[in-house]
Amino acid sequence: MRVLLTGAAGFLGSHLAERLLSEGHEVIGVDNLSTGQRRNLEPLFRHPGFFFLEADVSRPLAVEGPLDWVLHFASPASPPRYLRLPIETLLVNAEGTRYLLDLALAKGAQFFLASTSEVYGDPLVHPQPETYWGNVNPIGPRSIYDEGKRYAEALTLAYHRTQGVPVRIARIFNCYGPRMDPKDGRVVSNFVVQALKGEALTVYGDGSQTRSFCYVDDLVEGIRRLMEVDYPYPVNLGNPEEYTVLALAQLVKELTGSSSEIVFQPLPEDDPKKRRPDISLAQRLIGWKPLVPVREGLERTIAHFREVVR
C-alpha cells in the first residue's frame, strides 16, 4: 500500500510509520516539525519505502500518485505545547482534517483520524464508553484541543455520510513510550526525566487525579487492527490500568531507583479529575486489549530515556 501519514516526526506517528514500513508498505510522512523531533525520522529513513515532506498540513497538500490510506496524526498533543500553539492546534484539526479528507476523497483512500480521550473533557461518567458525550468546557484553555478534536470527528463523519469516504476514528487515551519528547511536558516523560536527572518530580495539584497509561506498541497494534474493520465511528484505544498521578510519581521513583523528592505545584485549569477507557467495543470489534503492563512499559521507557537524557 501507499500511505500518507501526517505527524510522522511525532511520538506516535514515528512508531506507526515504522510498523507500516516493516510490513512493506510505502509511507509518505508529512510534518512541519512544530512539536516533532527530527531524530524520530532517522529510523524511518533506513527504509527505502519512506519519503518525507516538510509541510504544514493546515494548508492544502499536493500529492502525486495513488494513495490507499491517509492517516492524520499531526497536531500538538501535550497540554503545554497546545496551550502555546492555540490557533495552530485549532487549524490543524479543523482545516488540516478538511484538506486531508478532501485528499482521501480525491484518491479514493481510507481516512484515519487520531482523536483523543479529551473529547470526554472532565468526565462525569467513569470509565468512559464511546457512547458518553463528554463534559467539555467549550471556552476554557483546553478547548482549543478538545473542541478541535470534536470538530475533527464531526467533519470526518460528515465526509463519510455525505461523500462516502471510508473513515476510522480512534479515541486515544494517554499513551507513553520511547521517542516521547523529553521536553514536551507530558506526565510520564516529565517524571522519568526528572527522576533520571535527580530533579524533583513535579506533581500538579494533590496528585489524586487519575490517568490510564497505554504503552505505544499496544496502541499501534490497536490502530493497525482498526484499519482492517469496516467501522466508521469512534473507538476507544487505551489501557484501563488506572493510576493517580501521585502513585505514578512513586512508581517512577521506584523503577528508576531515584532519590528525587516529590514536590506539589498548582493544578492547571480544567485538568480532568479522572480518566479510564472502557475498551469493550475495541475488544468486541477488533479483539484487542493492551498486553504490556504499566510497570513493564515504564521500564522500557526508562531504558530509552537513559540513552537520550544526559
Residues that bind ligand UDP (CB under 6 A): 78-79, 174, 186-187, 190, 202-204, 209, 211, 245, 268, 271
Comparing C-alpha atoms, which of 80, 83, 65 is closest to residue 2? 65
13 binds, among ligand NAD, ligand UDP, none (CB under 5 to 8 A by kind): ligand NAD
| Residue with Cβ nearer ligand UDP (13 or 123) | 123
As a whole number of angstroms, the distance between CA 139 and CA 115 comes to: 19
Q: Where are the beta strands (DSSP E) in 11-120?
A: 26-31, 50-54, 69-72, 110-116
Nearest to 25 by CA among 110, 116, 113, 114: 110
Contact pattern from residue 28 through residue 67 relative to ligand NAD, giving x for each residue in contact according to CB under 6 A and a dash for the rest: --xxxxxxx-------------------xxx---------
Active site residue 145: yes
Strand partners, 5: 29, 71
Tell the residue number behind the cell numbers 504503552, with chain if given.
215
**What does the block give as the cell for 170?**
480512534
Task: Choose the catalytic residue: 82, 120, 145, 243.
Answer: 145
Q: Measured from the CB of residue 178, what is the shortest distance to ligand NAD in angstroms?
A: 12
- Would you say 51 or 204 has its CB closer to ligand UDP? 204
Cβ atoms of 29 and 51 within 8 Å: the answer is yes
CB 257 to ligand NAD: min, Å: 26
Residue 245 interacting entry, from ligand UDP, ligand NAD, none, C-beta within 5 to 8 Å by type: ligand UDP
Residue 263 CB neighbours (<10 A): 12
Q: State how far the alpha carbon of 152 is from the alpha carbons of 66, 80, 81, 148, 194, in Å.
A: 24, 21, 19, 6, 34
Instruction: Tell me which residues in 155-194 interact with ligand NAD (CB under 6 A).
Output: 172, 174-175, 181
Q: Minimum Å distance from CB 52 to ligand NAD?
A: 11
Report the residue number, 78 or 258, with the smaller CB distance to ligand NAD.
Answer: 78
Q: Tell me phi and psi for residue 160, to 5 degrees.
A: -65, -45
Binding-site partner at residue 202 among ligand UDP, ligand NAD, none, CB < 5 to 8 Å by type: ligand UDP
Instruction: State in angstroms the smallest separation of the CB of 271 from ligand NAD.
Output: 15
- Is 256:198 a contact under the CB 8 Å cutoff? no
Let me know: does 297 contact 215? Beta carbons within 8 Å: yes
Chain positions contacting ligand NAD, by CB under 6 A = 6-7, 9-13, 30-36, 56-58, 73-77, 92, 96, 114, 116, 172, 174-175, 181
What residues are labeled active site?
145
